[in-house]
């Protein structure tokens, strides 16, 4: 029988091995190699995280970044390392979005955030107040290099979170040694840094980490790693402490990762059921908006939707078809589709719906790519790449309908022609 120590050491070594392999690949190859893993994590994040309210102190750039699928996956995985009731000390909360998630979704009983930038403290405080979470939080100005054992012990900290921080400081080795020296034996530390070859174009990043450097930093600080992993092919996560005994926190995080993969994948697709293009399956989407005219007809075995946008609208107009599924349990759809008048189309979306809840979205930007023939066949399911790019992929198995929507420029006309459709099961 494998004991807890041996199992944890095996998983940690496997984590280091994966960090090393993916860090030697370029980003595109690494993402393709484990596409199913990354997309499963993104789908889980989309299904379990709802947006926080952000105030005036959080700028448009940050708001957009926080809801990116990759960042949502990083937030979701961070929360897996938080036990309900934890007292969490975060180093460098930035504008406070993760702080809000730690308190709301991580169910931390108390939170303390320290940052060297006063405006970050102010933004974090505002965000927590807007979301009704400020009563469990304290915030203060402090340099990472000034962190002390008495500060961590005095807060009775269960978990120190230092994610996406030490690549910004001039001496990461010293930073990690400072964190390690401040840890009581029963307090664990979660750090994350960009994987080698990732995010090197970010001007605020001052350090680059390969596997050897990260591992040497951890062991050289006198810490014992309990979990090592790559998140979304972009970040390296390490959970460590001053205690060599196996970590219950790491075991729980590993269990959650396994459960998430099982629930999200729901088995591999096995077949495509072609559906008739009749009125029982195809109709107008309820999301048609801002149109001066729309006309739906069957022409030469195709379903044709022609729409003209109003000239005076605040933004784009939307015209779409709804495909009703015979049953739930889908992994996606296969479409033979043409869009005439692409120069008038801003985006084409394919949205999966379970009742009124959207559980998936793919987007095609005609300004970025166009198929070589029309109509073209598109396969839309997790793990497949095409002109349509996945934006959010949640519980597709619960979907009972798919909407095909084109966004039109004001006053313009376009035509969507659906020639064949199949549901992937």
What CATH number is attached to the domain comprising 23? Answer: 3.40.50.150
Check whether residue 109 and residue 204 sit in a common domain.
yes
Check whether residue 220 and residue 321 sit in a common domain.
no
> Which of 265, 292, 326 is where one domain is finished?
265
Mean pLDDT, the chain, rounded, equals 92
Check whether residue 141 and residue 239 sit in a common domain.
yes
Helix axes 97-104, 118-130, angle to 10 degrees: 40
Range 33-54 average pLDDT? 88
Q: What is the CATH number of the domain that holds 282?
A: 2.60.120.260
Q: Between vectors from CA 186 to CA 181 and to CA 191, what angle results, nearest 5°?
A: 60
Check whether residue 178 and residue 310 sit in a common domain.
no
What was the pLDDT predicted at 18? 95
**Number of domains into which the chain is organized:** 2
What was the pLDDT predicted at 143? 95
pTM, full prediction: 0.67
Q: Using an 8 Å Cβ cutoff, are 136 and 111 in contact?
A: yes
Q: How confident is the model at residue 102 (pLDDT cuts 50, 70, 90)?
A: very high
DSSP 8-class letter at 340: E
Q: How confident is the model at residue 261 (pLDDT cuts 50, 70, 90)?
A: low
What was the pLDDT predicted at 174? 97
What was the pLDDT predicted at 259? 63
Check whether residue 261 and residue 277 sit in a common domain.
no
Range 67-84 average pLDDT? 95
pLDDT at 318 over 80: yes
> Which of 226, 249, 265 is where one domain is finished?
265
Check whether residue 147 and residue 296 sit in a common domain.
no
Q: How confident is the model at residue 22 (pLDDT cuts 50, 70, 90)?
A: very high
pLDDT at 260 over 80: no
Range 387-400 average pLDDT? 88
Range 331-345 average pLDDT? 95
Which bin fits 334, alpha (ψ -120 to 50), beta or left (φ > 0)?
beta
Q: Using an 8 Å Cβ cutoff, are 92 and 117 in contact?
A: no
Check whether residue 251 and residue 310 sit in a common domain.
no
Check whether residue 14 and residue 93 sit in a common domain.
yes
Q: What distance in Å separates the CA atoms of residue 43 and residue 333, rounded to the nearest whole number?
A: 17
> Which of 244, 265, 286 is where one domain is finished?
265
Check whether residue 314 and residue 235 sit in a common domain.
no
Q: How confident is the model at residue 386 (pLDDT cuts 50, 70, 90)?
A: confident
Check whether residue 219 and residue 335 sit in a common domain.
no
Check whether residue 415 and residue 344 sit in a common domain.
yes
Q: State pLDDT tens for residues 150-199.
A: 999 999 999 999 999 999 999 999 999 999 999 999 999 999 999 999 99
Check whether residue 43 and residue 103 sit in a common domain.
yes
Q: Using an 8 Å Cβ cutoff, are 159 and 253 in contact?
A: no
Q: What distance in Å separates the CA atoms of residue 358 and residue 392, rounded to the nearest whole number?
A: 9
What was the pLDDT predicted at 1? 41
What was the pLDDT predicted at 263? 46
Range of the domain at 319: 272-424
**Mapping DSSP to helix (H, G, I), strand (E, B) and coil, where does residue 278 land?**
coil
Q: Which H or E run includes 77?
A: helix 69-80
Q: Which H or E run includes 421?
A: strand 413-424
* Spatial strand order in the sheet of 159-163: 137-141, 110-115, 87-91, 159-163, 188-194, 235-241, 224-231
């Amino acid at each position: 029988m494998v004991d807890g120590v041996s199992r944890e050491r095996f998983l940690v070594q496997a984590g280091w091995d994966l960090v090393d392999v993916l860090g030697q690949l370029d980003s595109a190859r690494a993402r393709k190699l484990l596409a199913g893993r990354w997309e499963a994590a993104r789908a889980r994040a989309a299904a379990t995280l709802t947006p926080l309210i952000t105030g005036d102190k959080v700028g448009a750039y940050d708001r957009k970044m926080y809801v990116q699928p990759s960042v949502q996956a990083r937030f979701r995985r961070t929360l897996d390392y938080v036990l309900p009731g934890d007292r969490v000390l975060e180093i460098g909360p930035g504008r406070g979005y993760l702080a809000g998630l730690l308190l709301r979704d991580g169910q931390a009983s108390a939170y303390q955030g320290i940052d060297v930038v006063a405006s970050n403290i102010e933004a974090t405080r505002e965000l927590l107040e807007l979301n009704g979470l400020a009563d469990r939080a304290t915030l203060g100005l402090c340099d990472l290099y000034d962190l002390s054992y008495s500060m961590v012990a005095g807060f009775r900290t269960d978990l120190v979170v230092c994610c996406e921080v030490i690549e910004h400081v001039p001496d990461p080795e010293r930073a990690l040694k400072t964190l390690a020296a401040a840890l009581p034996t029963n307090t664990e530390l979660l750090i994350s840094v960009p994987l080698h070859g990732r995010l090197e174009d970010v001007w605020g990043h001052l350090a680059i980490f390969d596997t050897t450097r990260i591992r040497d930093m951890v062991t050289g600080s006198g810490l014992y790693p309990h979990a090592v992993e790559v998140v979304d092919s972009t970040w390296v996560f390490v959970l460590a402490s001053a205690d060599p005994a196996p970590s219950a926190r790491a075991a729980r995080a590993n269990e959650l990762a396994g459960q998430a993969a099982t629930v999200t994948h729901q088995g591999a697709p096995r077949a495509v059921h072609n559906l008739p293009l009749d009125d029982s399956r195809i109709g107008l989407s309820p999301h048609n908006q801002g149109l001066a005219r729309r006309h739906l007809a069957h022409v030469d075995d195709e379903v044709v939707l022609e729409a003209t946008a109003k000239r005076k609208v605040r933004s784009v107009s939307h015209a779409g078809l709804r495909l009703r599924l015979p049953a739930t349990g889908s992994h996606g759809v296969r479409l033979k589709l043409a869009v005439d008048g692409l120069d008038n189309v801003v985006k084409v979306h394919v949205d999966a719906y379970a009742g009124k809840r959207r559980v998936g979205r793919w987007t095609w930007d005609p300004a970025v790519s166009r198929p070589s023939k029309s109509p073209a066949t598109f396969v839309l399911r997790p793990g497949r790449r095409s002109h349509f790019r996945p934006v959010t992929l949640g519980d597709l198995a619960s979907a009972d309908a798919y909407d095909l929507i084109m966004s039109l420029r004001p006053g313009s006309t376009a035509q969507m022609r659906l020639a064949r459709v199949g549901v992937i099961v």
